[in-house]
A and B are shown apart, each in its own frame.
Chain A
Amino acid sequence: MNVVVCVKQIPDPAAPGALDPQSHTLVREGKLILDDSDAYGVEMGLQLAGDAGEVTLVSMAPNQEVSGVRTALAMGAAKAIVVSDPALKGSDALSTAKVLAKAIERVGADLILAATESTDGYTGTTPVQVAELLGLPSVTFAKKVTVSDGKVRVERQTEAGFDEVECPMPCLVTVTAGVVEPRYPSFKGIMAAKSKPVDQLTVADLGLDASSVGAAGARQEITSVAAAEARGGGDIVVDEGDAHERIVQFLEQLKLV
């Protein structure tokens, strides 16, 4: 089985992030790393692809950036497509989805995996848009994925528990952290990743019109940015015989009980 995993290369979350003062978009210059949340998809893909199939990575990145993709190649993915183009600057989620969908079409996958959302942008909308553009069904928030008889069976995380969903392949599945434990690359894998094929493509290579992507094609605009609300003081519960009930209420609110 051939699996495509959509991966995003993001600025190191440990370093303080910044927003571009004009466009209000994230500054994504310099060295980028593999989004941690994508490591789950890569691992899931490697396990499902098995020895007979292979995992192809698809990524859109500024400045032909590949260092994050190399991490996923070191885990065991066979090859990668990285789309880089100045015309993609300022892309919204839909533009990104258009690019990823076109790139995925070139590979031909039985299954497409993605994280539920990226760690830097958090829109969580790109994967389902990719599925829609490809005309494929999608299942989101998978906490368990198994494949048999050309179908994928997913335990789909819900607030109360999980749904069991079955879906014909090809399809797209987004996986949560915890679906599998991502492997840690060995030095052998890291060295092997150096020589794995990474196809660097532009918007024109994909046959997309430059005006339909990037800032030119963006259908969303960030008009303003506000600082996050400072954390307020906690509630103090004075026990008047009902403290236990109020604590239970509070925990219920957080869906912890």
Chain B
Amino acid sequence: MNFAFSEEQEELRRSVRRFLADRSPMAEVRRLMETTDGFDRPVWAQMANQLGLQSLVVPEAYGGAGFGFVELAVVLEETGAALLGAPLFATVALATTALMASGDEAAMADLLPGIAAGETIATVALTEDSGRWDLDGVSLAATARDGRWVLDGHKMFVLDGHVADLILVAARTERGMSLFAVEGTADGLTRTPLPTMDQTRKQARLELASTPGRLVGEDGGAGPVLARMLDLAAVALAAEQVGGAQRCLDMAVDYAKNRIQFGRPIGSFQAIKHKCADMLLQVESAKSAAYYGAWAAADGSDELPVVASLAKSYCSEAYFHCAAENIQIHGGIGFTWEHDAHLYFKRAKSSELLLGDPAYHRELLAQRIGI
């Protein structure tokens, strides 16, 4: 196996980085984070029409480009570094992977082309009040009524749930865990944006009252589908976290070289050097874990569940560590609203908890390797 990125993958990275620098600079991130939707539709359209980010991992048969998770990881590393405000993670890492894991060909043929074209913003609604990212936390009920499925209950912390055109809802039927496609405009669906500490990633509460849904996959068969989606999403998030952590390290090192105190750059002081060295160590280790996860996802490796939890737990802590140390190295200015350090700190914290915190994933890891 070869973990070096190909020249083409590096070219993709440059293309995405340039796009984000031009179309999603920090001023734009700050403008959008104050809005309810949290993203810019022309930018979203350009992501689809020119860069093809929404279609990257969608198979060609369903209107996508048919590339793999390594390419997706490259993209998410860049969007994570730029704190892109857009429903990309929810659409590609959650909804697309869930649909593809479902194996429901009719649903894929109906729903994936819209996602690939950037016309459908999609998400997965799994978590409820407990905030648990496992299937035990799901109590929302689906019942068959007059030959169609209706859903009753509510979901919490749904990523981009208030703007999604398509929501894949995890619900319980008599046969067990099932997945339903619910339209954003469906009857009986009430969507409320939630205040989030990390304003660059939006969440919503969804209230479903006799809301019609389309069964995706088998009735009672969504357990393995959601499990696979969660593993793939963990790897995708780890890639985002690596991008953010690297950006924090870059900001800190840059400042340490330029900020003069006591007549010399603060980076020449051992206390600062050690902090930067520790950040570098964590960033590099996080990269190894996230890239290994991306490879395992792309290659269909049996190791995926193990590596996913390993990457998610390690990258979560590495990102948070780097974001926190970045503020320390910046000193007073790092603690101001005007400086971007706090935006990374908040993204690092929300990403640490998203899909389950490091302790949860270490427990999963222990179980998965049979300890």
Contact = CB atoms under 8 A, between A and B. Distances in A.
B186 interface: no
Interface string B2-23: 0000011001101110110000
Contacts of B12: 185, 187, 190
A183 B46 CA distance: 9
B20 to A, nearest CB: 10
Contacts, number: 41
B221 interface: no
Is the interface on chain B under 10, 10 to 19, 20 to 34, or 35 or more residues? 10 to 19
Interface string A176-203: 0000000111111011001000000000
Interface in A155-190: 183-188, 190
A188 B52 CA distance: 8
A187 B18 contact: no
B7 A187 contact: no
A84 to B, nearest CB: 19
Nearest to A191: B8
A187 B19 CA distance: 13
A98 interface: no
Interface in B266-287: none
A191 B7 CA distance: 10
B52 A186 contact: yes
B56 A187 contact: yes
B51 A184 contact: yes
A74 interface: yes
A67 B7 CA distance: 9
Contacts of A183: 50
B10 to A, nearest CB: 9
Contacts of B50: 183-186
Interface of B: 7-8, 11-12, 14-16, 18-19, 46, 50-52, 56, 65, 67, 71
Given A184-B51, A190-B15, 19 more contacts: A71-B11, A74-B15, A184-B16, A184-B18, A184-B19, A184-B46, A184-B50, A185-B11, A185-B12, A185-B15, A185-B51, A186-B51, A187-B8, A187-B12, A187-B65, A187-B67, A188-B65, A190-B8, A190-B12
